[in-house]
Amino acid sequence: MEEIKSYENYPFRFVLIGNLLSLSIYGLGIFVIAQIGLIWVFFYLLFILLIEYRLLKHSCKYCYYYGKYCAFGKGKLCALFFKKGDPQIFVNTEITWKSLIPDFLVF
């Protein structure tokens, strides 16, 4: 049986690819929304910032990768803004549709 490979810190190329994917999705959203008006782009960017803040505050600070490079590099970013939380909270978090809806709205 193959041993599963895991990382203490993800390689930079993984972080780069993950962030480029997110930025391309945000960029596509900006392009589409700009067709109806630039004021809506402002609101979309504000929404993205709020979603990223929510992710850092309610997930990343409890994650094993807090202060480390996860696949998206947010563990390092989170350590700059928030104190480390209890990792057991991350493990016990129940994922519901209510918690996922804001993430789906970014697309």
**Scanning the structure block, which residue is given the tokens 């970013």?**
77
Residue 1 within any structural domain of the chain: no
Residue 36 within any structural domain of the chain: yes
Residue 103 within any structural domain of the chain: no
| Res 107: pLDDT | 58
Residue 46 within any structural domain of the chain: yes
Q: What is the pLDDT of residues 48-69, one digit of tens each?
A: 999 999 999 999 999 999 999 9
- How many domains is the chain partitioned into structurally? 1
Residue 107 within any structural domain of the chain: no
Contact 18, 71 (CB under 8 A): yes
Q: What is the pLDDT of residues 30-49, one digit of tens each?
A: 999 999 999 999 999 999 99
- Whole-model pTM: value is 0.79
Residue 54 within any structural domain of the chain: yes
| Res 90: pLDDT | 85
Domain that holds residue 73: 12-98
